[in-house]
Amino acid sequence: MNSKSDDVLTFFSGAGGFSYGFAMAGLKPLCGAEIDRDACQSYEENVGSTCYNMDLSQASPSFFKDLLGGKEPFALIGGPPCQGFSTAGSRNIADPRNRLIFNYLQIVSEVKPRWFIFENVEGLLTSGHGEAVSSLVKEFLRIGYSVRVEKVNLAAYGVPQTRKRVLIIGNRLGVDFTFPEELYSYDSGKAKKRSNKPFAPTLLQAVNGLGDTTYKRMQTSRYSTPEPLNQYDSLMRNGNSSGLITEHFDNTGAEDSYRFNLLKCGQTMKDLPEELWHESFRKRAFRRVKDGTPTEKRGGAPSGIKRLHGDLQSLTITGAASREFIHPEHNRPLTIRECARIQSFPDHYNFFGKAASVIQQIGNAVPPTAAAVFARHLQELDGSFGSGASFTRQIRSPRLLGYRLTESTGMSEALKKTDSLLSKFLQRELEYQ
């Protein structure tokens, strides 16, 4: 029988947000694996462990097994894209879209982590009319893991943005578990949840303290005050001994600055006079509706640019945030460093690559502060770290422990199909009890 270890492996590691969060909890990953070279360099510089620059659809599971020296690790974190794993024909391993997910499952099966956290976009829940997530659950059960599936908003764990993600957490210890307790209320104007819990940091609380922007990317700036302005500012400054700030630059031209000046918080490109619309937005705004669906039911044109509310949590940071999200108080987009802060990357975190690569790395990341909450939760559940497993209900065979697809009282037709597929797993368990 293989011995256990407290090692963590990260796949699809990106710039290391997930990994850095685990390191904050005392679980610095043994290694990462990522196909993007810039992201690998960002990972290694900040997380401090090796990131293998590799295509995980081609990686041999034995590579990671040998790396561990035969020990079974504590956790494997990260999740592949699942675009092809969603239809009746998707079980075809020859489909290039499926190589990542099949290889990922094979690696989990052979490496045998005690726990895994599979992270993905919320669209996974309705992909292939629910077949994608249902097939994933079936495969995880087949290789010996009991799993729980939930859509979470990471603002509930202290991230200053509403960021909806699907997490599948599983273990092969027979532990019946729940997700960590939510810690914060939140309101981005678009997604909100109010309770007796304090609110997550607002956008302005997240970015205040960074001081003036520079004009050129390679220039560094300094904090606006010697001492942090709030608790989140203090958290972000921690470890930045030089006091210098990178990636906090702005080269907005006069024409765009004029556009932005006309926008009130919450307003978008469509609220501007038509002659000020960007050409790309104009084309999308007047695109032909070919299927006959009324525009108001299609959601209309993308917002193009949007001035954010400073006293609310930010909208989801993506690879377009430093172009499209306008600062609540200044007539410019958010800087790359502001986006990094909203993703909870500390100010000393150095990113590698061109600006477009860096903002993509930031937008794709799992926010470190949320990752740390889940890392500590797994430590408590595991039992090897001093508590947990002896106080949780044990189960005899792999099963779906439960799922949460939405916090709304209602459910879309698409989610109803997913709900129907997942509920069958729960029904099977009831039949066997």
**What residues are annotated to the active site?**
82
Measured distance CA(168)–CA(182) in Å, rounded: 17
- φ/ψ (deg, to 5) at 258: -65, -45
H or E segment to which residue 152 belongs: strand 146-153
**By CB neighbour count within 10 A (0-12 exposed, 13-18 middle, 19+ buried), where does 143 fall?**
middle
Measured distance CA(139)–CA(142) in Å, rounded: 5
Rounded to the nearest 5 degrees, what angle is found at the Cα of 357, between the Cα atoms of 356 and 361? 120
Structure tokens, 201: 């940091």
Kindly provide the b/e burial profile for residues 301-340, where b requires at least 16 CB atoms within 10 angstroms of the residue's own CB.
Answer: bbebbbbbbbebbbbbbbbebbebbbbbebbbbbbbbbbb
Structure tokens, 164: 């909806």
Closest CA to 334 of 348, 352, 316, 354: 316
Which distant-in-sequence residues (6+ apart) come within 8 Å of 65 by Cβ?
110, 111
Measured distance CA(338)–CA(321) in Å, rounded: 10
Which distant-in-sequence residues (6+ apart) come within 8 Å of 356 by Cβ?
319
H or E segment to which residue 187 belongs: strand 186-187
Q: Which amino acid is at 64?
A: F
Task: Assess contact for 289 and 298: CB atoms under 8 A.
Answer: yes
Measured distance CA(353)–CA(259) in Å, rounded: 30
3-class state of residue 322 by DSSP? helix
**By CB neighbour count within 10 A (0-12 exposed, 13-18 middle, 19+ buried), where does 354 fall?**
exposed
3-class state of residue 28 by DSSP? coil
How far from 56 is each of 34, 76, 81, 166, 365, CA to CA, in Å? 8, 14, 11, 21, 18
DSSP structure class, residue 226: S
Task: Assess contact for 241 and 346: CB atoms under 8 A.
Answer: no
